[in-house]
Amino acid sequence: MTQSNQPTRSGSASSYNSASLGSSNADDSLLSQAGKWLNKGSMGDMLGRMTTTQKVVGGALLAVGAAALLRGNKGKTRKASAGASAGSDAQTDTLNELLYFVNDRIEGYQRAVDESQDPQLSGYYKQLVSQSQQFANELNGYLRQQGGGRQDSTTVKGKFYRAWMDAKAALTGADEKAILGSNIYGEEWAIKAYEDALSDNTLRGPVRQAVERQCQQSKQTYNRLKNMENKQE
C-alpha cells in the first residue's frame, strides 16, 4: 500500500517533482540523515537546540525525506511483508498491512487535536481519533481470530510525514487551514489503503464487510473535511 500512486494534493508534502529528488542512492542518504534526526529525541527538544539555519536546512531535509518515502514502491513493501510472514494466510497479511494505515489515521488526528486551537474543530478531530481507534480494534479482533498478533505500528511514511509537518509548523507556524489540509491528505491516504486492501481480493466474509464499511465511513469523513476546507476559502 505504499506505491507511488498514493493520492497527492497540490501544495501538500507529496507534490514534489520526482526528477528533483535525484537517484535512489541519494534518497537513501537523505532518508538515513532524516532518520538520525528522528532517533535523537523529540522534535521540540531538537528544534530548541538548533540555530535558525539548522532549522531551515533540517526542515528541508525532512521534506525531501518525506517526499522520497511518499513515492515508495508498493511492490517492495508487499515483498518485505511476504518475506516476514512467509506461509501466513493472505487475509492476515492484508489486515496487517491495512492496520499500519489505520494506526497512521489515529496518530494524524491525535496530532490535529493537540495542535488545533478551534474548539469545534478540535472536538471533531477527537471524534475521528475515537472512530479510528474503533476501526483498529475491529480489525485487530479479526486478526486475532486468525491467530495473528495485535498490530499497533504505523507506516514509516507516516512517521516521516508527521515529522515533516512538525518541522514545518515549528518554522512557519501552524494554523487551522494547514492542520485541516494535512487531515484531508491523511484521509486520502487512508481511503487509498482501504481500496488497495479490497482490490487484492484476499478479504472474505465478515472481514471484507467490515473493511468496506470502514472505507465508506472514511470517504464520508473526507467529504466533510473537504466541505470544511471550502468554507475556509
Q: 190-195 long-range CB contacts below 8 Å, 24 or more apart? A: 190/101, 190/102, 190/104, 190/105, 190/218, 191/7, 191/215, 191/218, 191/219, 191/222, 192/1, 192/5, 192/6, 192/7, 193/1, 193/97, 193/98, 193/101, 193/102, 194/98, 194/101, 194/218
Amino acid at 31: L
The pLDDT value given to residue 168? 77
Judge contact between 115 and 174, C-beta under 8 A: yes
5-16 burial, b if ≥16 CB within 10 A, otherwise e?
A: ebbbeeebbbeb
Q: Summarize pLDDT for 102-151 with one digit per residue, the tens.
A: 999 999 999 999 999 999 999 999 999 999 999 999 999 999 998 889 99
CA gap 230, 221 in Å, rounded: 14
The pLDDT value given to residue 13? 34
Q: What percent of the chain has pLDDT over 70?
A: 61
Q: Summarize pLDDT for 165-208 with one digit per residue, the tens.
A: 888 777 767 789 999 999 999 999 999 999 999 998 999 999 99
Sorted by sequence, the CB contacts under 8 Å of residue 200 that are 6+ apart come out as 94
Judge contact between 30 and 64, C-beta under 8 A: yes
Half-sphere exposure of 24 (CA within 13 A, CB side): 3
Residue with cell 532518508: 31
- Nearest CA-CA partner of 71 in 31, 114, 106: 31
Q: Summarize pLDDT for 42-70 with one digit per residue, the tens.
A: 444 544 555 544 444 455 445 545 454 44
Amino acid at 48: G
Q: Summarize pLDDT for 8-33 with one digit per residue, the tens.
A: 333 333 332 333 333 344 444 444 44
- Nearest CA-CA partner of 157 in 67, 78, 94, 75: 67
CA gap 65, 166 in Å, rounded: 14
Q: Which residue has the higher pLDDT, 111 or 71?
A: 111
